[in-house]
Structure 1
Amino acid sequence: MKYFGTDGIRGKAFDFITVEMAYSVGRSLGLLEKNKVIVCRDTRASGLNIVKAIKRGVIDSGLDVLDIDILATPILAYMSLIHECYGVMITASHNPYTDNGIKIFNKGYKTTPEEEKVIEDVIDGVTELKKTNRGIELAYFNPLYTYGALYKNIQFKCNKKIVLDLANGAVIKSAKFILNQTCSNLEYVGDEPNGYNINENVGSTHIDKLRNYVLNNGYDIGISFDGDGDRVLVVDEEGTIIDGDLLIYIFACYLKEIGKLNNNLVVLTKMSNLGIIKALKEKGIETVQTDIGDKYVIKAMNELDATIGGENSGHIINKHLFVSGDGVLNAAFLLMILVEKNTTIKELIKDVSFYPDRLYNIKNIDKSLVNDKRIVQLVEKIKADLGEEGKVLVRPSGTEPMVRISASAKTKKQVDNIIKTIEDKFKEIIKEKE
């Protein structure tokens, strides 16, 4: 079983992430790092015991450990970078409180497959660890002031009426600390975590809640984060949802204007809307599309020396600011652009026309059917017929017995027909196998 990946260890609280497993994770880091480990968590009740177990493992491995308590994942990534050490984040990101997981960073970046293999071998008992001198727990200090250095080039004063949706999650401290310094008219929702309400009807996975709040209360902007703070989505005063694609478009156009967009290139995923790709091209900005997942985006960005990339979920890597996705940092960058240009979000995205698109899930299905030659051939034919005026993607879910079909085309009727055609082919194949 693979415990690590793009999203780290993930499962149903202690049914999957046992205290023993967490202890082994901590112990395994002694094979990778000869200095110290920084540990952090989001607001889930289950996180506290996982942190305790990891800290015991780290200390028993001979390393020192620093516990920075409840803070956003990007802050941990930044701390691991400036302290040149490993960082362990206990979070299940945008998932409900019943889930929890582990993300590990090495000097600001997520661990490599080689590093993950070392950790997995300890968890699985393949590698036996020798006894060593015990480390110590280092004295706590508030890392928010250190983290604030990332904002030294984002200086502005904003008097717009803004509401922040903190998802009852890990940005509960950092979003307030940072944005209160620059924004004079802030209000909050989802800022009362109790250990069991993270992402519950709040946060970026429930953006319609924020949209209604903005419209009903006359806000200029609504900004929503996910449970661990590496995603951000926005709602403008008219209730338009500004997803990750649109934010990347805004950022890329601005960076090009100031001469900071390397190679005039943006990295998107195959889920990105064709309208964004066309709008960027009209601005003289080329795009590359990767498979879904931030690890693929980051890999392409590194290979192509791109400044910015990300997913429509709101996970944006803006290397002009930092090497890792950071929701609060990107939110501040957006506000700075609005203030500097004295404009509105609507004006910044006026040249973007979204293509109709749709995501459809076929549940309780053998996921391996996506590799059936009849499905592959059908998808390739649809792609050829669409050319540059549409796209289709069929992929298995990473965690459920489900196949996801996404399609985009000039009209909604085309999109619906594409999805129905593919779904019918799956049904035909399943019927043959019965």
Structure 2
Amino acid sequence: MEALKFGTSGLRGLVSDLVGGPSFAYALAFLRHVASSDESGARRVVYLGRDLRGSSPEILGDCAAAAAVAGFEAIDCGALPTPALAFRSLREACPAIMVTGSHIPDDRNGLKFYGRDGEITKADEAGILAAFAAIGDTERNSQALAVPEDATALDEYEQRYLDCFLPDALGGLRIGVYQHSSVARDLLMRLLKRLGAQPTALARSDRFIPVDTEAHRPEDVASIAEWTSEDGFDAIVSTDGDGDRPLIADERGTLLRGDLIGLLTARHLDLTMIVTPVTSSASIERAGIADRVVRTRVGSPFVIAGMAAAAADGAERIAGFEANGGFLLYSDVVLEGVTLTALPTRDAVLPMIAVLAEARERGKKLSELVSELDAGHAAAHRLANVPGERSAAFLTRLSGDENFRHEYFAPVGTVAGIDTIDGVRTLLADGSSIHYRASGNAPELRCYVEAGTEAEAARLLAWGLKQAGAEIG
């Protein structure tokens, strides 16, 4: 159990460290934490959901067993996107547990927890860990449990968008749906068709594929370019494994950056207060779409806290998004006379529909929408299998040792300043930047760069990864 830890998106770890007792104990700790603050008469129901990983059904069973011990009725919502489960949880004011490892490899998995009022906070994490420590030798009931199933959560989530977008919002658009092992793949086909598009299913997989919307696999980039070239799609769309981060490629097969997807979505919905992590590019401020921008650490809990603080200060029309494209709607929005209620957790479907609807409404190609933003050029990737302690040592030296920092970056430029909100973001004298941070979900060191040209961004990213790899060893 010591190998399991909370990251930016919940509890993550190796499947071998999670199945059985550990997942049971953490789910029990979460539910006991929820119960500790429940008012009299609160419904003792917990909704469970999962992605399409091979280990997810077994882990969901562990969570159901924990619910029985905690005195909660478990309801299995089946395989569905994380935001769909969150939507049900918020509507019913009941806790929920999503079994997912998101985009990380299939040998890993995780648990994402929702309290009665949304995603758990960092304070909730501390409460769960305290409840976990107090469990002691509680034994798991080894007998299989009959868990009631309820598939309507997915239907409600789909209807949420059908109610707020016109039936021809995407009329005539030819859209390829890269299905791989996304839990949202069938939903996307139905939803796009019902909104007037002509969707085509692409590359469905029976095995789990770790699609990361920030660090694209070369084979995915190549396939998307080939599909757009051969089939003339207006766009290709997909999500990560649990359907909370969108992937959108334009008519040329060029993948849209997640922060630009967020910007276009905010513009389409007329949201003018934006909260986003430091990994989003400087184009967020430069685009002029937001009246105010607040920067946070990476992770939806920090974005949610930033949105809540903005609301407390009197801000309205609030949205949050991350560099991975996940969009968090904090304020209700009226579309076509219907209220689209807030859903302050990462969502892939809303930004996907909004960006495509924006293109169709304005009669422009996706590439033209992006060029209007004058967003500069950014790139990101990661070094895999880097233990956290090695990343921490590297980042500590980079932030604290000025001589080392200047020598380290000397081959690419002169250091003009650093930002240590999350990791170390180094600004160079020519206006470009290189940002290193340790992933909160996996043993990875991530690298984000911004530069004046696409070629220069690619060069800095390749250099940044190679240089870090040599330094870490």
Pick the TM interval, shorter chain: 0.7 to 0.9
Alignment match, 2:309: 303
Alignment match, 1:382: 416
User: Secondary structure, in 3 states, of the residue corresponding to 2:228?
Assistant: helix
Over 3 Å counting, the alpha-carbon distance change for 1:53 and 1:347 in structure 2 is same
Letter in 2 for 1:396: A
Alignment match, 2:274: 266
Task: Determine whether 1:236 maps to 2:250.
Answer: yes
**After superposition, where does 1:211-360 map in structure 2 within 5 Å?**
211-256=225-270, 261=271, 264-278=272-286, 280-281=287-288, 283=289, 285-305=291-311, 307-319=318-330, 320=333, 321=340, 322-359=343-380
> How far, CA to CA, are the matches of 1:12 and 1:394 in structure 2?
24
> How far, CA to CA, are the matches of 1:414 and 1:327 in structure 2?
26
Give the one of 176, 192, 215 matched to 1:179.
192
Q: What 5-or-longer segments of structure 1 have no aligned partner?
A: none
Letter in 2 for 1:170: V
| Alpha carbons 2:176, 2:199 under 8 Å: kept | yes
| Alpha carbons 2:249, 2:255 under 8 Å: kept | yes
Over 3 Å counting, the alpha-carbon distance change for 1:313 and 1:31 in structure 2 is closer
1:177-231: CA deviation from partner (whole Å, max 9, x where unpaired)? 3223113411112434x3x334379998444122321222111111111100001
> How far, CA to CA, are the matches of 1:139 and 1:284 in structure 2?
42
| Alpha carbons 1:383, 1:390 under 8 Å: kept | no
Residue 103 of structure 1, CA deviation: 0.5
Over 3 Å counting, the alpha-carbon distance change for 1:54 and 1:12 in structure 2 is same
| Alpha carbons 2:211, 2:241 under 8 Å: kept | no
Task: Determine whether 1:410 maps to 2:452.
Answer: yes
User: Secondary structure, in 3 states, of the residue corresponding to 2:28?
Assistant: helix
> How far, CA to CA, are the matches of 1:299 and 1:387 in structure 2?
33
User: Secondary structure, in 3 states, of the residue corresponding to 2:165?
Assistant: coil
Q: What 5-or-longer segments of structure 2 have no aligned partner?
A: 36-41, 312-316, 334-339, 419-426
Task: Determine whether 1:150 maps to 2:160.
Answer: yes
1:327-385: CA deviation from partner (whole Å, max 9, x where unpaired)? 12321222332333333323322323343445576786463232232158648943277
> How far, CA to CA, are the matches of 2:468 and 2:211 in structure 1?
37
Over 3 Å counting, the alpha-carbon distance change for 1:425 and 1:170 in structure 2 is closer
> How far, CA to CA, are the matches of 1:425 and 1:171 in structure 2?
35
> How far, CA to CA, are the matches of 1:180 and 1:362 in structure 2?
38
Letter in 2 for 1:3: K
Alignment match, 2:119: 110
> How far, CA to CA, are the matches of 1:160 and 1:424 in structure 2?
43
1:97-138: CA deviation from partner (whole Å, max 9, x where unpaired)? 22111101123622123333343334444568799xxx9844
1:41-99: CA deviation from partner (whole Å, max 9, x where unpaired)? 11111111111111111012211110011111011000101111111101110122221
1:260-303: CA deviation from partner (whole Å, max 9, x where unpaired)? x2xx332232222334542x13x564433322222222222222
Letter in 1 for 2:130: D
Over 3 Å counting, the alpha-carbon distance change for 1:424 and 1:65 in structure 2 is closer
TM-score w.r.t. the length of structure 1 is 0.82
Residue 425 of structure 1, CA deviation: 10
| Alpha carbons 1:203, 1:225 under 8 Å: kept | no
> How far, CA to CA, are the matches of 1:418 and 1:180 in structure 2?
38
| Alpha carbons 2:284, 2:293 under 8 Å: kept | no
User: Secondary structure, in 3 states, of the residue corresponding to 2:158?
Assistant: helix
User: Secondary structure, in 3 states, of the residue corresponding to 2:204?
Assistant: coil
TM-score w.r.t. the length of structure 2 is 0.76
Over 3 Å counting, the alpha-carbon distance change for 1:361 and 1:350 in structure 2 is closer
Aligned length: 416
